[in-house]
Amino acid sequence: MYELYPYFTNDGSVGLFSPSADDIYHSTYGALTEAYEKFILPANFEKYFKKNKSIKVLDICYGIGYNTKSFINYFLEFMSNDTIGSDNINKDNCNAQIYTNNKKLYNSTVELHTNNQKLYNSTVELHTNNQKYNIYINAIDTDKILANLSPFFITGKNNIKKQQLTFKQDKIKKMLAEKTKQIYSLKTETKIILLNLLKDNIDSESENILFSKKYSKFFDRSIIDLYKFYKSKKDKYTPLSCLDSFLHNIYYKYISSSYKNVLKALKMANFNFDLNIEDARQVLQKDNNEYNYIFLDAFTPAKCPCLWTVDFFKLLYNHLDNDGMILTYSNSATIRNAFLNAGFCVGKIFSESANKFTGTIAVKNKALIKYELSEYDLGLMKTKAGIFYRDENLNGLNEAIINAHKIEVENSNLESSSKYIKNFRRNNDL
Ligand SMILES: C[S@@+](CC[C@H](N)C(=O)[O-])C[C@H]1O[C@@H](n2cnc3c(N)ncnc32)[C@H](O)[C@@H]1O
């Protein structure tokens, strides 16, 4: 039987516990906050979007989609902050752009010279109309139900108060009582976009969960109503007009000033989203894309080693743009050494709010690394702790990969990590 155990995390977003995996999918500290801090903040998307109009993101282990949601959310914020708007572009820039562009834009420059501010803005608009952002997200997960339900999960701190927690009640309550500052919350519009993107993928099993009483308190009613509305109209419209009527309905039902910004953002971007319900190793062997960002959010290496092997990382190498970046939450020497042996340059992720290193990045272009591995990190990778997982044919079972790794560690002559750490501390007076 398929079982979900949802609970509200500290920032109000829903986390999940899986009895079959015997693991939580999201940190109780805050599922959305975690996604934002681990995958969005270190990626420096602002810098990227100022230079590029097209982006390909690979979300490995999509789950209920917090990493993709946070990414779309970030993009909407970036657009509504008008980063590419008139305030940031001076007339000289506009001219330079226009003279290298086509006739239509050239004409509008002539007008620009005769009347400044208003026409200056209209030039910017032409410029942005000419170059829409292209957003492509490829999401992969083996769990179809989770992926299908992802846009529906409620977020919002107020929900915590109404919640009757049943899962590990004491532990969760204690954690919720600890005060943490909420630094991130999801724009409702993000859910709307995702609902659009996922509209054809909802199957009956997911619907049963979606409409069951057991889980009802976790789902966003307004989105569910919109889903029902959409479904009831589905046969009457062609796909395109159906989407229009759906958006139209949202517009009148849930209009807010911020939503206008979203519509603006939608006009300025082409969103394309693929959801692959299959083992990530198989999906990527058939995929020809090169990605600018790869989010790797698998369970821990000890639980899901098949997505942390040197061979899987070699596969990722072929899918990473030369200036691309892989982001993970793992700090382990095993993982860092596997990335190095797969050909990547490896660096660390530093969280300013936590004041500590919270993950690892893998890149082809070393200049993208802000925090280099230290002498200690490099030394640790040369001990038994650096022995990585292998999966040569990219189809091994997790248990088999773990067993082979265990045997390799046992037979290795490398120094043990505990001895290395002890010596390092002694030699460096720590
Ligand atoms: C820690 S959860 C990811 C949470 C997710 N990023 C989210 O926002 O909800 C790990 C996910 O890995 C998926 N998974 C496990 N093995 C996989 C594999 N071989 N290929 C693709 N997905 C896998 C699980 O179904 C689970 O949803």
What distance in angstroms lies between residue 270's CA and the mean position of ligand 1's atoms? 26
Q: CA 406 to CA 412: how far, in whole Å?
A: 10
25 lies in some domain: yes
Q: What's the average model confidence in pLDDT over 229-246?
A: 55
Looking at residue 268, what is its pLDDT? 74
Identify which has the larger pLDDT, 2 or 94.
2
Q: Among 187, 194, 270, which Cα is nearest to 227's?
A: 194
Residues of the chain with pLDDT > 90: what percent? Answer: 43
User: Residues 75, 98: one domain?
Assistant: no
d(Cα 202, Cα 198) in Å, to the nearest integer?
A: 7
What is the separation of C-alpha 366 from the centre of its chain, rounded to a whole number of angstroms? 22
For residues 152 and 243, membership in a common domain is answered with yes
Q: How far apart are the first and last CA of the chain?
A: 51
How far apart CA 333 and CA 420 sit, in angstroms, is 13
Given a contact cutoff of 8 angstroms between Cβ atoms, the answer to whether 319 and 343 are in contact is: no
- Pair of tokens at residue 63: 């789950």
Could you tell me if 150 and 233 lie in one domain? yes
Q: Which of 110-124, 147-161, 311-325 has the lowest mean pLDDT?
A: 110-124
277 three-state secondary structure: strand
In a shared domain, residues 53 and 202: yes
Cβ atoms within 10 Å of 235's Cβ, excluding its own: 7
| Residues 399-417: tens digit of each pLDDT | 999 999 999 999 999 999 9
The atom of ligand 1 lying closest to the CA of 143 is: 25
Q: Is residue 242 a part of any domain in this protein?
A: yes
How far is 9 from 156, CA to CA, in rounded Å? 10
Q: Is residue 66 located within the same domain as residue 146? A: yes
Task: Please choose from 24, 142, 186 the residue to mutate so as to test ligand 1's pocket, defined by most ligand atoms within 8 A of CB.
Answer: 142
Task: Show Cβ contacts of residue 77 under 8 Å, excluding neighbours closer than 6 positions.
Answer: 187
Which of these, 144, 150, 149, 169, lies nearest to 7 by C-alpha position? 169
**CA–CA gap between residue 353 and residue 42 (Å, rounded):** 12
Q: Are 40 and 69 in contact (CB under 8 A)?
A: no
pLDDT score for 190? 75
Give the pLDDT score at 373: 97
Specify the residue with its C-alpha closest to ligand 1, atom 1: 25
> Would you state the pLDDT for residue 223?
74
- Do 118 and 139 lie in a common domain? no
Q: Where are the alpha helices (DSSP H) in 382-416?
A: 398-411
Q: Is residue 288 part of a domain?
A: no
Instruction: Decide if 184 is inside a domain.
Output: yes
Mean pLDDT rounded to a whole number for the chain: 78
Please compute the mean of the pLDDT values over residues 23-50 and round it to a whole number: 89
For residue 173, the model assigns a pLDDT of 63
DSSP 153: B
Find the 48 Cα to ligand 1 centroid distance in Å: 26
Query: Best substitution site from 36, 66, 141, 194 to test ligand 1's pocket, by max atoms within 8 Å of Cβ?
Result: 141
Question: Same structural domain for residues 320 and 277?
Answer: no
Contacts of 218 (CB under 8 A, 6+ apart): 6, 14, 153, 154
Range of the domain at 105: 86-130
Looking at the structure, tell me whether residues 143 and 212 fall in a common domain. yes
The answer on pLDDT for 152 being more than 70 is yes
pLDDT at 254 > cutoff 80 = no
Q: Which residues contact 285 (CB under 8 A, 6 or more apart)?
A: 315, 394
Name residues whose C-beta falls within 8 Å of residue 43's C-beta, 6 or more positions apart in sequence: 293, 325, 327
Q: Is residue 183 part of a domain?
A: yes
My answer on whether 37 and 54 are in the same domain is: yes
Q: Whose CA is nearest to atom 5 of ligand 1?
A: 63
Query: Which contiguous run of DSSP H or E holds residue 184?
Result: none
* pLDDT tops 90 at residue 162: no
**Cα radius of gyration (the chain):** 24
**Any residues with Cβ below 6 Å from ligand 1, and which?**
25, 61-67, 140-143, 146, 279-280, 297-299, 304, 306-307
- Return d(Cα 73, Cα 337) in angstroms, integer: 33
Give the type of residue at 14: V
Q: Is the pLDDT of residue 129 over 50?
A: no
Among 60, 99, 83, smallest CA distance to 293 is for 60
- 46-60 pLDDT, tens per residue? 999 999 999 999 999
Does any domain span residue 228? yes
The token pair at 102 is 């086509």
Q: Which atom of ligand 1 is nearest to the CA of 140?
A: 21
Given 251, 282, 313, the domain boundary residue is 282
Residue with tokens 């990585």: 388
Last residue of a domain, one of 226, 253, 282: 282
Of 145 and 360, the structure prediction assigns the larger pLDDT to 360
Residues 77 and 92 grouped into a single domain: no
CB-based contact 137:273 (threshold 8 Å): yes
Cβ neighbour number for residue 123 with a 10 Å cutoff: 22
pLDDT, average across residues 55-77:
91
- Our CA angle for 51, 85, 47, nearest 5°, is 25
* Count of helices and strands (H, E) across the chain: 21, 11
pLDDT in tens, 213-229: 878 878 877 777 777 77
Same structural domain for residues 166 and 247? yes
Per-residue pLDDT, 125: 33
Choose the weakest-confidence range: 92-101, 142-151, 180-189, 367-376: 92-101
How far away, in angstroms, is 336 Cα from ligand 1 center? Answer: 20
Place of tokens 């954690």: 175
**pLDDT computed for residue 95 by the predictor:** 30
Q: Whats the size of the chain, residue-wise?
A: 430
In a domain, 57, yes or no: yes
**Which of these three, 101, 130, 159, is where a domain ends?**
130
Is residue 394 predicted with pLDDT exceeding 60? yes
Residue 354 belongs to some domain of the structure? yes
Task: Find all residues with CB under 8 Å of 238, minimum gap 6, and list them.
Answer: none
C-beta of residue 4 within 8 angstroms of C-beta of residue 177? no
How far is Cα 90 from Cα 406, in angstroms, rounded to an integer?
61
Residue 299, pLDDT above cutoff 60 = yes
C-alpha–C-alpha distance, residues 138 and 275, integer Å = 6
- The predicted pLDDT at position 168 comes to 55
DSSP-derived secondary structure letter, 414: S
pLDDT of residue 350: 92
How many angstroms does the Cα of residue 257 sit away from the middle of ligand 1? 35
231 and 311 belong to one structural domain: no
- Total domains present in the chain: 3
pTM of the model: 0.83
Euclidean distance between CA atoms 229 and 254, whole angstroms: 14
Enumerate the H helices of 26-65 as residue ranges: 31-35, 45-51
